[in-house]
Amino acid sequence: MGDKYCLLTNDVETTSIMNNCLSDETGKLVLSEGMPLLLDLYEEFNIKTTFFFTAHIAEKFPEIVKMVLPYGHEVASHGYTHELDRAFDILNLDEQIDNLTRSKKILEDISGQEVVSFRAPAARVNKHTPVALQETGFKIDSSVASQRFDMFLSLGSFKKLNWLIAPRKPYFTDADNLWKKGAGNIFEIPISALLMPYIGTTLRLFPHLSHQLGRILLFEASKGQKPIVFLTHPNEFIEEVSDSKKTRRRSKNYVSYLFGDVIRHRLKMKNLGKKALPLYRKEIRSLHEKGFDFVTCKVYYQNYIKNN
């Protein structure tokens, strides 16, 4: 696979960034504002992407899944829910299998497509996740962010230390370890990172620095079989109003609350809403002009199998 590939990925959920909580009202705005903006942007450049939907938002608003189908985007799973007490890194094997089975069926029933790609909510996984993915018919995971160093600003940070030693290029994982290359059947496509992640949040916070990171990743992609994998959320492009002056606490641990809620929440307010769109358009245009082939996770996986 000598071509330069770029995988634009979108996590679709009911998370209110403004209010630091899950909200079906946010889901309505994702449906009416965020998704149309992204779909129009991708159509502008004639590119295909992967949308990772929580089954919760798909059940509440089935049209949110159906609207990507005419454009040829991939429908993928973001688990059943984004609730913190159902994060994959704290679920046992049976719980993960149930979560994935329900999510897969809901998305397949709505889309009429086979769903084979998965990204864990908040990228939180454990040793049971690759086993659960294989048991439920998934082939691809994209929950690892190799060499990403800001994990302490997110929940589940202890297990995310494994990001530091994960392979940078896409790989088949170990049977019970998504962070390790092995003989398992799950194909890992890491989210691009190098110290800082190449994602929508970073692009909004540090546009110039993020663009420079993109240039480094572009150079890396041109030298080896490593695609650029960018992650964003349609809820980054919606306009919401704060309903509280105090940041909601999601963690009982004070350190996690301080870093994962208070500091992270305040940082994520920058360039939120419509102001994020021109930043993302500029980044896509830059990658497009440099000759990247924009493909879905599923298509990248199929091309990898064909050529290896």
The domain tally of the chain equals 1
Model pLDDT for residues 109-118, shown as the tens digit of each residue: 999 999 999 9
Among the residue ranges 21-35, 186-200, 267-281, the one predicted with the least confidence is: 267-281
Burial of 63 (0-12, 13-18, 19+ CB in 10 A): exposed
Host domain of residue 294: 5-307
CA distance 51 to 55: 12
**Per-residue pLDDT, 259:** 46
**Per-residue pLDDT, 270:** 87
Residue 260 has pLDDT above 90, yes or no: no
Q: What is the mean pLDDT of the chain?
A: 91
Average pLDDT of the segment spanning 206-229: 92
The pTM assigned to this predicted structure is 0.91
DSSP 123: G
Average pLDDT of the segment spanning 210-224: 91
Please give the structure tokens belonging to residue 46: 């004639």
CATH code: domain of residue 139: 3.20.20.370
Residue 155 has pLDDT above 80, yes or no: no
**Higher pLDDT pick, 150 / 134:** 134
